[in-house]
Structures are given as structure tokens and as C-alpha cells.
Amino acid sequence: MSTLQRAISLARSGHADKACAILRDLVEANPRDIYAWLWLAEYSPDADEAATAARHVLSLRPTNQRAYEVLQNLGEPPFPYTTSRSVLAWFSKPKRKLAVDDSVDEPEEPWLAGIGVLVLALLVTALVFIVFGLMIL
């Protein structure tokens, strides 16, 4: 019988404290053991430890439905967020209003802009013909 199986057997027989002690040793020895983390989340008498274990399962396997259920039963969000004071300070700073200057929105000579676009289109077309003309030869 493996150590994990022994911990599961103890947990199922009502010895959660002994099972959790074994499970803590298992996750310390192998932090990527999803099953040990999940059983620790299920049977830990400490709600914080259970939530941490369930979140660790989700960090290893984000689709693990049982870890989400454990967190839901604990009333905990899957991934708690923290807000830095600097972020809060940035958002609470008064923002300066941008001035709208209508005079810059339109060119003074709109027909001149149209001619510029036309010349650019002709240059690009000529360049395409030159490149493809050389490729055919």
C-alpha cells in the first residue's frame, strides 16, 4: 500500500488528522502531486489550508472540477486577487481632461491631401509592376 493510499484509507475511516499529516509530508516531498493536494483540500480541518491546497491543484490542472467544488463549498474564489496600494493610488489620482482642438481635425487644403494619396497609390502600383515584371523575365 502506497503512502497516498494509506492517507486516503485513514481519511475515509475518520482519521482526518493523521491523514492530513501524511498528506502534508507528501506534498512537501512532491509539490506536483495533484492527488495528494486534492485529498489535503478535501480533508484538511483548516479552511485556509484546504483553500490553498485546492488552489494549488488548479495551478497544476486548471480544469480540475473537484478543486473548484472544494473552493465553492468553502465559499472561496478560485483565484483570490490582491490590490496593490500603488495601483489604488494611480486610479484615485485626479485625471486631467484632454482639450479638444477642432482646428487640427481637418487639413487646410483637402484637395491637396487627395492628390497626395493619389500620387502614393500610383507609386505603389508602379513598384508592383516593376517587381512582378522582373519576376516574369
Q: How many domains does the chain have?
A: 1
Per-residue pLDDT of 107-130, as tens digits, reads 567 667 778 888 889 999 888 888
Global confidence as pTM: 0.57
Answer whether 4's CB lies under 8 Å from 27's CB.
Answer: no
Helix (H) or strand (E) holding 26: helix 16-29
Cell of 6: 494509506
Q: Three-state SS for 55?
A: helix
Determine, yes or no, domain membership for 87.
no
In one-letter notation, the amino acid at residue 38 is L
What is the Cα–Cα distance from 7 to 20, expressed in whole angstroms?
7
What is the Cα–Cα distance from 41 to 34, expressed in whole angstroms?
10
Determine, yes or no, domain membership for 40.
yes
Determine, yes or no, domain membership for 31.
yes
Determine, yes or no, domain membership for 14.
yes
Q: Three-state SS for 73?
A: helix
What pLDDT score was predicted for residue 54? 94
CA 110 to chain centre: 47
What pLDDT score was predicted for residue 130? 84
Determine, yes or no, domain membership for 125.
no
- pLDDT for 132 beyond 70: yes
Determine, yes or no, domain membership for 101.
no
Determine, yes or no, domain membership for 126.
no
Per-residue pLDDT of 6-58, as tens digits, reads 999 999 999 999 999 999 999 999 999 999 999 999 999 999 999 999 999 99
- Domain holding 67, by residue range, is 3-74
Per-residue pLDDT of 64-76, as tens digits, reads 999 999 999 988 8
Determine, yes or no, domain membership for 57.
yes
CATH number of the domain enclosing 31: 1.25.40.10
